[in-house]
Structure 1
Amino acid sequence: MSTTPFHNIALLGATGNLGSKVLGALNNAGFTVTAIQRKDSRNTPEGAAKSIKVDLSSESDLKSAFQGQDVVISAMPYPRLATDKIWMNAAISAGVKRIVPSEFSSNLENNLSRKLPIVLDKIEIRKYVEKLAEDGKVEWTSVNNGPFTLPFAWLSGWMGPSVASRATTIHDSGDQIVATSTLERIGEAVAKVLLPEHAEATKNMPIYVYSTAVSERKLTNIVSKLTGIEFQENRMSIETVTKDAFEAAENGDRSKMGDFYVAFCFGEGYGGDFRYMASNDMLGLQEMSDVELEEMIKGWLKETEVNKE
């Protein structure tokens, strides 16, 4: 008999960029993982105990796949309530104890952040799982981690420096801090919230974790130190960027949706620096040192050079 409250885990999205890291961390923690894949998937979930291919739009197919599972985790990108309801209801019908929705966002407890169009679907899903728990149908835990589009977000010049253009984008002062995570850190967190020593404390709770806390100026200084580039600064106003994005969205123009992430990360009052409410200490997750951050950025820079060849 398992000595843990959870043993068998069903994972949706097991072969994606994030899902593969979650799968690896679950394996390292001793869980038995079943990858739930769409019928036509040709991807192989490395490390899964088994893979079940189903019609992801079929509640009956998913219910069958979830039989005997203690937890269902979704690492599927672009979650929508209309589709996520299907797997959640199937999990309940199959007797699953806990679900972990595909939240993996920044500060969703913040009132300003909750109004941003880029998170409205996740807010709807959060409300749905909270109601499920209130009705005693299933437990839930979500994991949030700040931006993890690394190194794209931090080395593309969108927010911070771009080696290719030798320019850096600085929003407002450039000193605003955002808590951010590697994919590996997110995978660790998902596994740890389900361990016996944390299962009760993480029940029906959003859990926040991070790898390090950075600003655009700090990243620019590190890349400048490593490359010798003196970056030209392109200064931008967060208020203006956010205002323009809202106006475009109201007019049906989705071309500026990505700009909402600027406020989400660095906007005053949006809670991008959520270190004060993070569960790193509880989960035993160490914050990355400045030396480790430099080494990681050095690796990104080398990888970028290799990919250009």
Structure 2
Amino acid sequence: MNRVAIVGASGSIGSAVLKALIASGKDVTVFSRSSSATVFPEGAQVLRGDYEDQTFLRDGLMGIDALVLCVGTLIPATQVPIIDAAISAGVKWIIPSEFGTDSGNSEYAAEVPIIPPKVAVQEYLDEQVAKTQSQFMWTGVINGLILDWSLPRGVLGIDTSHKKAVLLDQGVTKVNMTTLPTIGRAVASLLQLSPKQRNMFANKLVYISSFCISQIDLLGSIQRVTSSPQSSWDVQFQDTEAKVAAGKEKLKHGDMLGYADLIYGHVFKDGAGGNYQARVGLSNQALSLPNEDLDEELKRILSNK
């Protein structure tokens, strides 16, 4: 799997994946919209065009071994034309735009509107695998909450600038979180696997995680690395049901930030699926992902704010 194409490489996840693919020595092709002025790092060929143009997509994907999608997930149609072109071009491995919380948990998926579109893409891929008699395979990456995306945006309930925290259900529920560099390394590691090894991940979700921690764990680490005693923080508590209700109300009025409230409210609800390693385990070892130190990662994240 040496020749890899990526769509959506300008976003937070896509740029981390692109960096890891280049570092691993892959021959990388980046697909970008004609209207985009994004400058991509050296080491990647860039093709600009229309994602609805099947000829552009198919021609660009000819000879590509694997396709990584890091695009919007609310509308399955965003990915489907690209998937169709990849299958037509003979791409052997498709990694759809998962990269989030556990879409394999049906109870959680039923509660969070952003998840069913991802499940729809999985089902479409399964249909195409059957239709083509397994001429290609797919693998979705589940990484839980993205620590270095979520913390700076305040959606983990911790405001480091003003030393304020809102902890859900006492802040003790442990959930899986992953850093962007580890997500990138996981994709690169998948594409380094031998044919026998990669068959372990054929047509299924693969679960990775940097940490399984609670909000209290996270807050304690932040206080250590910033040398700010607990007494200097304003800590309040909120019920997860209230968080979910607030999210639904925001969405009712067209506020897309309601999705964040819904996701984080459900993820931090005890037993609701945020701790997926307890349910299905992790593939960190199989993908040779390094152990990470929470304090060190937080130093990196906070220094980049």
State the TM-score, normalized to the length of structure 2. 0.88
Alignment of 1:196 with 2:193, yes or no, is: yes
| Number of residue-to-residue matches in the alignment | 295
The 8 Å contact of residues 20 and 184 in structure 2, kept in 1 or not, is answered as yes
Partner of 1:130: 126
Alignment CA distance shift 1:47-1:142 (3 Å): farther
Alignment CA distance shift 1:246-1:301 (3 Å): closer
> 1:184 Cα shift?
0.7
Alignment CA distance shift 1:45-1:303 (3 Å): closer
Which amino acid in 2 is paired with 1:228?
A: S
The 8 Å contact of residues 107 and 270 in structure 1, kept in 2 or not, is answered as no
Match of 2:268 among 255, 266, 288: 266
TM alignment of 1:206-221, pairs within 5 A: 206-221=205-220
CA distance in 2, matches of 1:26, 1:158: 29
Partner of 1:146: 144
Match of 1:279 among 279, 283, 291: 283
Alignment CA distance shift 1:159-1:20 (3 Å): closer
Partner of 1:60: 55
| Range moving further from structure 2, 275-284 or 96-105 | 275-284
| Range moving further from structure 2, 8-17 or 89-98 | 8-17
The 8 Å contact of residues 146 and 180 in structure 1, kept in 2 or not, is answered as yes
Name the Cα RMSD after superposition: 2.2
Alignment CA distance shift 1:272-1:54 (3 Å): same
> 1:43 Cα shift?
1.7
Task: Specify the SS of the correspondent of 2:87.
Answer: helix
> 1:157 Cα shift?
4.7
Question: Where in structure 2 are there 5+ consecutive unaligned residues?
Answer: none
CA distance in 1, matches of 2:274, 2:146: 13
- 1:119-159 CA deviation, whole Å, 9 max, x = no partner? 222121121112212323531111111111525x3355542
TM alignment of 1:1-150, pairs within 5 A: 6-78=1-73, 80-115=75-110, 116-135=112-131, 136=133, 138-148=136-146, 150=148
> 1:206 Cα shift?
0.8
CA distance in 2, matches of 1:113, 1:217: 23
State the TM-score, normalized to the length of structure 1. 0.87
Task: Specify the SS of the correspondent of 2:198.
Answer: coil
- 1:205-244 CA deviation, whole Å, 9 max, x = no partner? 2111111122111111122233324322211001222244
CA distance in 2, matches of 1:49, 1:253: 37
The 8 Å contact of residues 106 and 264 in structure 1, kept in 2 or not, is answered as no
Partner of 2:298: 297
Task: Specify the SS of the correspondent of 1:170.
Answer: strand
The 8 Å contact of residues 37 and 51 in structure 1, kept in 2 or not, is answered as yes
> 1:286 Cα shift?
2.6
> 1:271 Cα shift?
1.5
> 1:172 Cα shift?
0.5
> 1:279 Cα shift?
0.4
> 1:73 Cα shift?
1.0
